[in-house]
Structure 1
Amino acid sequence: MVRFKNRWLLVEITPVPSDASFPDLNPSQIWLALKLAALAHFGDAGWGALASSLTVKYYAPLTRLAIIRVARDAHREAWAALTLLRAIDGNPYRTRVVHVSGTIKHAQLAAIEHNRIAIATFRARANTPAAYHDSHTTFLTQSTREIEAMRD
């Protein structure tokens, strides 16, 4: 028996311009936008390579971070489609693949670290001390729990 091998893409999805206020995204919107980008740039064959394995497992609106699972053989097509993605639901977005891993555990660790850095950046811009307890602390705790609870 052969096991199904995946790649996990950690993706940052930011609106253009970065201070724009668009409605919060959800995983199904990201999946549909990725499908449309793959169809537009790679046709039916490109989408066929991605269709059976593509899932958006996690999305955090505050840090704009998504975790996407795709088959190992098709991860380059998914990465390219993400890079070529320009809009989600008619709103302009820019995507950046932050991390690629072969296991969910390493994707989880990278996502938790990315969230910590993003929250530290938010606090630095607001000139709040590192030990300050606010809604960001609650977000970090909750997002860490959600990320660690993900299963393949």
Structure 2
Amino acid sequence: MVRFKNRWLLVEFIPTSSDASILSIPDPVKSSPQTNFDGKQIYAALKQSILNHYGDVGWGSVGLSLTVKYYSPVTNICIIRVGRDHHKIARGGVTLLESIEGIKCIPHVIHVSGTIKHAQLAAIAHNREIIARYRAQAKAPVAYRDSYDSYLELSNQEIEALQD
């Protein structure tokens, strides 16, 4: 018996709007409504990108295996699962993505993994790095406890709860 092998893409969507509210430091409790995507919107934008650039053949090769497993509106990171045989088409579709729901963004593929565990570890490490950047921009002391601590704990639990 042969099992179905996947690739896991960890992607960060960086908003590029000139609107100051999008580029400001987000509040983890209530995220900015302009960047509040969900998995369905990312999936639809990714599907349209693959159809535009690779056509029906490209979408037919990745359509059944492509799923958005996780998205964080605070750090704008997303975990996408796709079949191993055609993961390059999915990565190309992500890279060529220009906007999601009319909001222009730059997709940055952070990590490609063969297992969900390594994608989870990379996502947790990247979340910590992003929160450290937010705290540095806010010039918060190192030992300062804020709402980002509770967000990190919650996001770690959500990411670790993901299953294949």
TM-score class normalised by the smaller sequence: over 0.9
What is the match of residue 119 of structure 1? 131
Give TM-score, length-normalised by structure 1. 0.97
Instruction: Indicate conservation of the 8 Å contact 2:49/2:97, yes or no.
Output: yes
What percentage of aligned pairs have identical amino acids?
55
Q: Return closer, same or farther for 1:34/1:20 CA change in 2, 3 Å cut-off.
A: farther
Distance 2:62 2:21 in 1: 30
What is the match of residue 112 of structure 2? 100
Gaps of 5+ in 2: 23-33
1:74 has 2:86 as partner: yes
Instruction: Indicate conservation of the 8 Å contact 1:5/1:72, yes or no.
Output: yes
1:64 has 2:76 as partner: yes
Deviation at 1:25, TM superposition (A): 0.3
Distance 1:79 1:23 in 2: 22
Does the residue aligned with 1:56 lie in a helix, a strand or coil? strand
What is the match of residue 8 of structure 1? 8
Instruction: Indicate conservation of the 8 Å contact 1:16/1:94, yes or no.
Output: yes
What is the match of residue 26 of structure 2? none
Q: Return closer, same or farther for 1:17/1:23 CA change in 2, 3 Å cut-off.
A: closer
**Pick aligned residue for 1:39 from 39, 51, 54:** 51
Instruction: Indicate conservation of the 8 Å contact 1:120/1:130, yes or no.
Output: no
What is the match of residue 141 of structure 1? 153
Count of residue pairs the alignment pairs up: 152
Does the residue aligned with 2:94 lie in a helix, a strand or coil? helix
Instruction: Indicate conservation of the 8 Å contact 1:31/1:56, yes or no.
Output: yes
Runs of 4+ in 1 over 4 A off after TM superposition: none
RMSD: 1.1
Gaps of 5+ in 1: none
Give TM-score, length-normalised by structure 2. 0.90
Deviation at 1:23, TM superposition (A): 4.1
Residues 23-71 of structure 1, C-alpha deviation per residue, up to 9 Å, x if partnerless? 4000000000000000000000000011000000000000000000000
